[in-house]
């Protein structure tokens, strides 16, 4: 019998509140996860250096280097590690900035541990799922998206780093070229839950993708905004990465 996903997953909990640390450690350990703990930036990097980490639960309010700068630096080093910001700062600006620096999700305190567990499982499940399309590599406007490797290559064949959220949005758009995808559908692909009018996460991810994909010499974008409806990929797509 195959071992459950949780038994192979390492979570790094980063919080300077020792009570919160202990609660999350006890809860996720009971659920079968391996849990590492850190209380500041120095211990955060030390834990990452000692072994493989699959997902980070990261508080914004930390002594010294704060959680947003840690998320930005981690994302620049490694696009594969999941990042969920867990913070008492329930501010839309913090959420938007967190997504812009590369976090995959954001959950304000206080929260139900079951909701955090559901978000952890959703993020891990999306990361582990291979797209079912026959064509593993899809070419559009000179770019190549490799679905199984979750990798984007530019016109020169160089890898371009994508966060998990960026990949999910781009993969959905590329798999449905010319089709208008509303924010509900894109939000479910990224976070597993429906979009709400206060949620800017999809728009943030699209803005970041445009910064990576668009030619600055052109005024139009590969990801077109359809006012009041959503987004669509404004390019032809064909299989093959050669």
Last residue of a domain, one of 128, 160, 178: 128
CA 128 to chain centre: 13
Neighbours of 69 (CB within 10 A): 14
Q: What CA–CA distance (Å, rounded) separates 64 from 43?
A: 11
pLDDT, residue 127, reads 67
125: its two tokens: 């499940």
Could you tell me if 182 and 224 lie in one domain?
A: yes
The CATH number of the domain holding residue 192 is 1.10.10.10
Give the chain's count of helices (H) and strands (E).
8, 12
Positions of the chain with pLDDT lower than 50, given as ranges: 1-4, 130-134
Say if CB 13 and CB 37 are below 8 A apart: yes
pLDDT, residue 197, reads 73
pLDDT, residue 133, reads 43
Q: Which domain holds residue 143?
A: 137-239
Q: What is the pLDDT of residues 147-161, one digit of tens each?
A: 877 889 998 889 998
Site of tokens 């590492």: 36
Could you tell me if 215 and 108 lie in one domain?
A: no
Could you tell me if 146 and 209 lie in one domain?
A: yes
DSSP string, 35-69: EEEESSHHHHHHHHHHS--SEEEE-S--SSS-HHH
CA dihedral of residues 109, 94, 44, 70 (deg, nearest 10): 170
DSSP-assigned letter for residue 11: E
DSSP string, 92-152: HHHHHHHHHTT-SEEEESS--HHHHHHHHHHHHHHHHPPP--S-SEEEETTEEEETTTTEE
pLDDT, residue 3, reads 42
- Which residues make Cβ contacts (< 8 Å) with residue 124, sequence separation at least 6? 5, 9, 54, 55, 82
pLDDT, residue 58, reads 94
**Burial category of 213 from C-beta neighbours within 10 Å (exposed 0-12, middle 13-18, buried 19 and up):** buried
Last residue of a domain, one of 128, 151, 182: 128
Last residue of a domain, one of 100, 128, 156: 128
Could you tell me if 35 and 55 lie in one domain?
A: yes
DSSP-assigned letter for residue 228: T
The CA angle 140-146-150, to the nearest 5 degrees, is: 125
Say if CB 107 and CB 116 are below 8 A apart: yes
Number of domains in the chain: 2
4: its two tokens: 């459950």
């Amino acid at each position: 019998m195959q071992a459950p996903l949780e038994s192979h997953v390492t979570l790094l909990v980063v919080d300077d509140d020792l009570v919160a640390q202990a609660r999350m450690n006890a809860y996720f350990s009971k659920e079968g996860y391996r849990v590492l703990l850190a209380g500041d930036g120095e211990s955060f990097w030390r834990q990452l250096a000692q072994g493989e980490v699959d997902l980070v639960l990261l508080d914004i309010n930390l002594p010294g280097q704060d959680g947003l700068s840690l998320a930005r630096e981690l994302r620049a080093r490694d696009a594969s590690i999941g990042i969920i910001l867990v913070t008492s700062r329930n501010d839309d600006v913090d959420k938007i900035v967190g997504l812009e620096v590369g976090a995959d999700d954001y959950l304000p305190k206080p929260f139900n541990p079951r909701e955090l567990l559901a978000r952890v499982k959703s993020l891990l499940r999306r990361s582990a799922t291979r797209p079912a399309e026959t064509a593993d590599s899809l070419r559009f406007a000179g770019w190549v998206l490799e679905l199984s490797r979750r990798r984007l290559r530019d016109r020169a064949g160089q890898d371009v780093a994508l966060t998990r959220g960026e990949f999910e949005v781009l993969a959905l758009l590329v798999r449905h070229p010319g089709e208008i995808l509303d924010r509900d559908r894109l939000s479910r692909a990224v976070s597993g839950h429906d979009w709400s009018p206060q949620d800017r996460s999809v728009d943030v991810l699209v803005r970041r993708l445009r910064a990576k994909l668009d030619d600055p010499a052109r005024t139009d974008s590969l990801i077109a905004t359809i006012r009041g409806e959503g987004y669509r990929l404004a390019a032809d797509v064909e299989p093959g990465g050669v």
